[in-house]
Amino acid sequence: MQLPLEDLQRIAARTLAHYDRQAQAFWEGTRDHDVSQNIAALLQAIAPPPPYVLLDFGCGPGRDLKTFKALGHSATGLEGSPQLAAMARALSGCVVLEQSFLELDLPGSRFDGVFANAVLFHVPSQELPRVLKQLHATLKPGGVLFSSNPRGDGQEGWNGDRYGAFHKWEAWRDFVTAAGFVELTHYYRPTGVPLEQQPWLASVWRKPMTIGMAPGPRLLPRKRLPPYAYLPGRHPHPVRDPGGHSYGQEPVAAASGTALETEAFRWGADLFNHGYYWEAHEAWEPLWQAADRREPLAVFLKGLILLAATGVKIREGKQAAALRHARRAGGLFRQVAMAQDPIFEAALGMPLAALADSIEGVAWAAASMDETIPGQPAPVFSLMLAAAAHKA
């Protein structure tokens, strides 16, 4: 049964009044809690190099806010209890937004990470989708959400003067993925004890890099894009059919040694950015063929080819195949990221780890795409590859 607005307001007011009355006792009872595992889980999942812009969502008296600041990050707190918010400001010296979870006003795409430790279980289940979407919106593309909550089997209601909703893992996963996040990991706390003695469920999530479907500016504006985006079995084959858009044309020459600086690489990125996924695959293929298979460059180019193939399968409506290609591409990008060679992220203009995490999320979302106009390019990734090349 849906709770009316008046009931939701009473839930928020009564719960926050409890924390106001118990502010000092709450601080004394939690000041020495060791949540270093949770802090590390958030920070290690953020792809760009530190320092980070962080939101401590439900920061309480400021224990973790102070830690984030001491680690060199730019941390902002958010707290609904006026007493706890004042304590957090005094303890940490950070800005603390005083907002109820049911009346959030957050900046868009501002934070690298959101730390929601022991807090989201206070949100009534019917309001949780909205709150999670607001957290999604306040994260930068590729940003990370950490959450830890006491787990349960769907119980919801009052515990004294505090309202709580206690979800099992499957239900919690459904809530967060429905808000647009991609799961990175989850674990139970405290560590080193049997599951029945681990009341806390912690989980880490990424906001995909792909947040829309609008193509970016051209990388090679002097080259004309094809008149149609090829899908197998639906259009003339671009190179084998006399009616194909590239029939009789010579492919862009693939230079060796500096593949990521070539026109062939940028042409593939230009095609990809504008929804020509089969064509991007064909542009990158000669570069991959010329690369030494023992080198990270070949792995990187193979990942791009599989990424383009993912776009083709999404456009064809073949979600299982899209997921298969997406997982292989993500695995290859993570493999290249381990080499820690900055040339690859510089070529793409984005962190490889964040790209890898976002690909599968797009493939999952493909089932809800509207049908596209046959033959018209339909970008399914809003990320712009080789953005640095465009700026140059």
| Residues 262-317 pLDDT 10s | 888 999 999 998 888 999 999 999 999 999 988 999 999 999 999 999 989 888 87
Of 382 and 183, more confident: 183
Class of the CATH domain delimited by 5-206 = alpha beta
Indicate if the pLDDT at residue 192 is higher than 50.
Answer: yes
Phi/psi zone of residue 60: left (φ > 0), alpha (ψ -120 to 50 degrees), beta?
A: left
Contacts of 388 (CB under 8 A, 6+ apart): 346, 347, 349
Sign of CA dihedral 68, 69, 74, 75: positive
Query: Which range, of 177-181, 246-250, 265-269, 276-280, averages the lowest pLDDT?
Result: 246-250
Residue ranges of the chain assigned to CATH 3.40.50.150: 5-206
Angle at 164 between CA 159 and CA 169, to 5 degrees: 130
The model's pTM is 0.61
Sign of CA dihedral 40, 45, 51, 53: negative
Q: Tokens in use for 274?
A: 């504008």
The domain covering 259-391 belongs, at the CATH homologous superfamily level, to TTHA0068-like (1.10.3450.10)
Residue ranges of the chain assigned to CATH 1.10.3450.10: 259-391
- What is the maximum span of the chain, computed from C-alpha positions, in angstroms? 79
Of 60 and 216, more confident: 60
Nearest to 204 by CA among 141, 130, 113: 113
Whether the CB-CB separation of 389 and 260 falls below 8 Å is answered with: no
Based on C-alpha coordinates, what's the Rg of the chain?
24
pLDDT of residue 377: 66
The mean pLDDT value of the chain amounts to 87
Beta bridge partners of 206: 144, 182
Indicate if the pLDDT at residue 246 is higher than 90.
Answer: no
Q: Tokens in use for 51?
A: 């320092």
26 three-state secondary structure:
helix
